[in-house]
Amino acid sequence: MIIDFHTHLDESWIGNKLMPEQTFLDLMNRYEVEVACIFTLEGFYGNCSMHNDNLAERARRNPQRLVPFATVNPKLGDQAVNELERCLANPLFRGVKFHTWLQAIAPSMVKETMIKLLKCAAKHNVPVIFHDGTPPYATTFQIAALARWVPAAKIILGHSGLSDYIVAAGQLAGELDNLYLCLTGPKSGEIKFLADTAGVDKMVFGSDLGFSDWRMLPECIDYVLQSGLHPQSISKIFYSNAVDLLDLKRRPL
């Protein structure tokens, strides 16, 4: 059984139609994904509230399976904080997603607002996942800095360093108690390193399902299965670490 911590469920992206909701759910069934954390894509470019409402609507139809993460535009200052408060007041939302590359802002350029947003997430006890691994707005170091700014917030590197920042991701997640790794991107030979360096308890599974071709899901599953980790570690990555991060024992879906 799997909890997929990194997916996108949206209508379209830059003019291209994305995977329909039913196809998304069928794929979850086929690959034994019990729960998917769903993010926007189009909402990274604007009109966050509408996209947050769309995510909530999808979750309302499948509350046991789809867990929406809210996205806000940190360039809007307190307006963004208010929008995040609005979303997190809705018990369907269980996390926050930023993509500072696509949202076109380095966290340090809006530091005051970012700190308010992370404190808001911490107050609601929900994790905050970021795209990482891409300069100049979303390097793994830039995202890890956020974990230092607000130690009470749970920050997740959405791609665990993606490709060139893998070593840094392992080191930083090992060093910072509130920094976690989502395995969307690292290959089999890197996952063992991340576990050895950051600790397997810091790792959750993610596939980017819905963003592109459906085969990303089974390929990401295979990266973990072929990593050489102990089956018990693999089941933590696929499931129980995500249960803890989402606090599902205290707040079941």
Binding residues for Zn ion, per CB under 5 A? Answer: 208
Query: Cα dihedral angle (235, 238, 240, 244), rounded to 10 degrees?
Result: 150
223 binds, among another protein, Zn ion, none (CB under 5 to 8 A by kind): another protein
How many residues are recorded in the chain?
253
Considering the complex, what minimum distance in angstroms separates the CB of residue 6 from Zn ion?
6
Q: Between 60 and 187, whose beta carbon lies closer to another protein?
A: 187
Binding mask 200-219 for another protein (x = CB under 8 A): ------------xx-xx-xx
- C-alpha span between 161 and 190 (Å, rounded): 10
Q: Decide: is 167 part of the binding site for another protein (CB under 8 A).
A: yes
Q: Decide: is 196 part of the binding site for another protein (CB under 8 A).
A: yes
Tell which positions 142-161 bind another protein, by CB under 8 A.
159
Contact positions vs another protein (CB under 8 A): 133-135, 159, 162-164, 167, 185, 187-190, 192-193, 196, 212-213, 215-216, 218-219, 222-223, 226
